[in-house]
């Protein structure tokens, strides 16, 4: 095929980031999209002026020229839309995280997994941030085998979304699912192991407490810790704070093993960096061997065009590059439905542990 033609479900903030990055690929384009909000649809048409706007998922699936589908709708819509696609037209599918939000959807997801005839890729963009990709590639050699991993995200509060759906656990799955499934995915990938226990402490400490939507105050957490034990004896920790946008780096990863340490530092979206502070920070990788001691710092710059196209340090572009190859029949998905499922299960376990104060086994939802 000369062009891989996408059909997109949901063109809000993240959907538009996908569209901008697809536009950078000469072998890909957006043929049609379903976006019920007129304002978001207008912005999307400005990015992809030749794309056809349709009025429903059913109408989208009827567009003959589509080669693949991309789900970027609100979290709580994903599972039902995947079922609808499977029943009508199961094209190669890229579905945004989180794969699902309701633990009761697990049985439906299992049936979907066992019967869907086309490739499925779960959009875990953080894997493809250049500095995190380097971190993952070099971690075992730099550490002598990771024994403990720490991930810190200090960032801005949740942004405003259409209908304010991201203010409530029942729509997002909870912050540990909605936001942090990225980090749980990185933990599994870095450790090469499966989680067996999650312990978490978290709260809604600062953000959204004075907001009110039709008489309801948001219930999403904005800060917390989650500790994960893995079946190979390793452990990982997540530290989340969503009222810390004053930080130079948004994400910091640290892996330690018997021979050394490796760290990755990821800046946040450039559009949020204050002009008076000068140029935004550049991502960097630091390796710190035990013998001989002495940290080595490596800047990992990202193409400015890619930084301009989205908020995820260039990763959305690289993800689409790889997905387009899969649609063309060249390779298989690197982030499987099973990967996306496990990341959500870990998030659900963290939400449950924070709620109950008890350690939780994520395998209950896997």
Per-residue pLDDT of 150-160, as tens digits, reads 999 999 999 99
207, 213, 215, 217: CA torsion to nearest 10: -20
Residue 315 pLDDT exceeds 80:
yes
Cβ atoms of 345 and 363 closer than 8 Å: yes
pLDDT score for 141: 98
Cross-strand bridge partners of residue 241 = 154, 223
pLDDT band per the 50, 70, 90 thresholds, residue 218: very high
pLDDT score for 108: 86
Residue 167 contacts by C-beta under 8 Å, 6 or more apart in sequence?
A: 158, 208, 211, 213, 218, 219, 220
What percent of the chain clears pLDDT 70, i.e. is strictly above it?
100
Neighbour count for residue 240 (Cβ, 10 Å): 24
Give CA–CA dist 109/345, Å, rounded. 12
Which residues of 204-346 form beta strands (DSSP E)? Answer: 223-230, 235-241, 251-257, 260-266, 284-289, 296-299
Closest to 183 in 3D by CA, of 132, 109, 248, 242: 132
Residue 1 pLDDT exceeds 80:
no
- pTM score, two decimals? 0.97
pLDDT score for 312: 96
Name the region of 163 (left: φ>0; alpha: ψ -120 to 50; beta: rest): left
Which residues of 20-89 form beta strands (DSSP E)? Answer: 28-34, 52-54, 68-71
Q: Taking all residues of the chain, what is their mean pLDDT, rounded to a whole number? A: 97
pLDDT score for 151: 98
Among the residue ranges 12-21, 108-117, 254-263, the one predicted with the least confidence is 108-117
pLDDT tens per residue, range 292-313? 999 999 999 999 999 999 999 9
Q: What six digits make up the tokens of 79? A: 């599972």
Dihedral sign for Cα 158, 161, 165, 171, please: negative
pLDDT score for 106: 85
pLDDT tens per residue, range 49-71? 999 999 999 999 999 999 999 99
Counted residue by residue, the chain has a size of 366
Residue 109 contacts by C-beta under 8 Å, 6 or more apart in sequence?
A: 79, 82, 99, 100, 337, 341
Name the region of 297 (left: φ>0; alpha: ψ -120 to 50; beta: rest): beta
């Amino acid at each position: 095929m000369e062009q891989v033609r996408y059909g997109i479900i949901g063109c809000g903030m993240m959907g538009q980031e996908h569209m901008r990055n697809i536009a950078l690929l000469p072998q890909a384009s957006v043929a049609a999209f379903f976006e019920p909000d007129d304002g978001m649809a207008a912005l999307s048409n400005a990015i992809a002026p030749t794309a056809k706007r349709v009025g429903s998922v059913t109408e989208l699936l009827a567009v003959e020229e589509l080669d693949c589908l991309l789900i970027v709708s609100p979290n709580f819509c994903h599972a039902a839309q995947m079922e609808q696609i499977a029943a009508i037209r199961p094209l190669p599918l890229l579905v945004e995280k989180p794969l699902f939000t309701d633990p009761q959807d697990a049985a439906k997801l299992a049936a979907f997994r066992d019967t869907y005839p086309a490739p499925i890729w779960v959009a875990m963009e953080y894997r493809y941030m250049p500095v995190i990709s380097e971190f993952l590639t070099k971690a075992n050699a730099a550490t002598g085998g990771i024994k403990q991993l720490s991930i810190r995200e200090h960032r801005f509060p949740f942004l405003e979304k259409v209908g304010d759906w991201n203010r409530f656990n029942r729509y997002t799955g909870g912050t540990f699912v909605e936001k942090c499934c990225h980090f749980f995915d990185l933990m599994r990938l870095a450790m090469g192991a499966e989680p067996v226990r999650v312990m978490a402490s978290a709260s809604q400490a600062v953000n959204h407490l004075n907001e009110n939507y039709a008489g309801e105050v948001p219930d999403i957490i904005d800060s917390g810790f989650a500790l994960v034990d893995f079946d190979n004896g390793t452990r990982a920790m997540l530290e989340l704070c969503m009222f810390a946008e004053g930080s130079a780096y948004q994400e910091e990863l640290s892996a330690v093993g018997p021979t050394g340490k490796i760290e990755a530092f990821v800046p946040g979206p450039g559009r949020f960096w204050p002009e008076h502070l000068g140029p935004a920070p550049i991502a960097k990788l630091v390796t710190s061997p035990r013998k001989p001691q002495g940290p080595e710092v490596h800047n990992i710059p990202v193409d400015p065009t890619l930084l301009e196209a989205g908020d995820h340090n260039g990763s959305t572009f690289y993800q689409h590059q790889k997905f387009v190859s899969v649609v063309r029949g060249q390779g298989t998905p690197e982030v499987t439905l099973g990967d996306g499922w496990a990341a959500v299960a870990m998030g659900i376990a963290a939400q449950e542990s924070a709620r109950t104060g008890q350690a939780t086994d994520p395998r209950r939802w896997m």
